[in-house]
Copies of this chain bind each other. A is one copy, B any other.
Amino acid sequence: MKISGRNFIQGKVLDIKKGATTAHVHVEIAGGVVLTASITNEAVEDLKLKKGMSVYALIKASDVMIAVD
């Protein structure tokens, strides 16, 4: 499958914190960078996400901002 979202980054699940409806997933990508994803609990269950699992982070280009010092 190919997706129009331009940012598709391989990583590994570090931890998952499920709330009442929304879960936060930390994913370590290359260079030790850690991404945080806020997704539904439903998705965590549907994808059977577990600590250590190999995953991809997917981010639409229009959701990426740039900051400079």
Contact = CB atoms under 8 A, between A and B. Distances in A.
Contacts of A46: 2, 4
Interface in A16-58: 17-25, 27, 29-33, 35-40, 42-44, 46-49, 53-58
A48 to B, nearest CB: 8
Interface residues of A, number: 54
A21 B17 contact: yes
Contacts of A20: 18-22
A5 B37 CA distance: 11
A40 B8 CA distance: 14
Contact of A59 (B32, B47, B53, B64): B64
